[in-house]
Amino acid sequence: MNVLVVGAGVSGLSCALRLAEAGHSVSVWARELPQQTTSTIAAALWFPYLAEPMNRVLPWSAVAFTELVRLSDTPETGVIMRDGCEVFRHRQPNEAWWASAVPSYRRATVDELPAGYVDGYFARVPIIDMSIYLAWLERETRARGVTITQRSIERITDARGVADVVVNCTGISARDVSQDNQVYGVRGQVQVVSAPSVTRYYIDDEGPTYIIPRVNDVVLGGTADEDLYDTTIDADTAAVIRARCVALMPDLASAPVLGNKVGIRPCRSTVRLEAETTDGLRVIHNYGHGGAGVTLSWGCAAEVVQLITA
């Protein structure tokens, strides 16, 4: 089929690549080209965050986990494997809901927990350096014959007549493009530092606070401000993020700052992944991934391919 993917973030490019691999003729339209999308701001590690419902998110995440582990064998992808923990100041009565997707999952030992924490979920997971990964993904997509054009649309129906099927990966823009009032933004600010000695990630949902060691730097976060769309870097917020991360890992106190970034996570009450035909236009919607765009990307892309051929 001729397929038009709208959106060139990690979700759009993953869908475009899988569709091209399946033999479809694929083109991408995007308001922002890949390096200007929200995906470039992502921390990013495999972690299903701010995405519902769990019963669909878990299998999508499991597919992506397997693929990202495979990609970690190829240095030019920017995907690496890291040990780390989600940590808690109080005992947790249950195991992590995502545990079945991660073969290495277990409870953290006492010596693996930072000072002040009493429980944790240990896992070895893929960490995705988006400054490398997104460029690699774009190259792979183009190598498969996919064209990427910077072009915005007001409504998804503007794509009528362009292709047999339209795949809607418009992220936060789906509020307008699909007139979906369930879509909302969650502002995330991070700081990037140089800390080569840091090789273990930590996540504390309070704050949230997280330390994500990538290939060449470490991402410190963060914020999760609902319905806040200002992408201006806030100096006070940067100072708070740094202080929380230093409290979690004191070795970061002297780490040089490489930059600060702000992105708006494209959240929704539930991820929308479904087929719809409106006035003769066949659309596969794939948006609302929240803070788990990379984590869900390959699983959702696989389902998009299935829906198109159904």
| Each residue's pLDDT tens digit, 174-224 | 999 999 999 999 999 999 999 999 999 999 998 999 999 999 999 999 999
Residue 268, SS3? Answer: strand
* 47-102 confidence digits (pLDDT tens): 999 999 999 999 999 999 999 999 999 999 999 999 999 999 999 999 999 999 99
Count the domains in the chain: 1
In the structure, what pLDDT confidence band is assigned to residue 109 with cuts at 50, 70 and 90? very high
265 vs 224: CA distance, rounded Å: 9
Distance CA 80, CA 67 (A): 12
CATH of the domain at 99: 3.40.50.720
Q: What is the pLDDT of residue 75?
A: 97
3-state helix, strand, coil split of the chain in percent (to 5) is: 35, 30, 35
Domain that holds residue 227: 2-309
CB contact at 8 A, 156 and 6? yes
In this prediction, residue 43 carries a pLDDT of 86
Query: Minimal CA–CA distance to 292: which of 260, 268, 276?
Result: 268
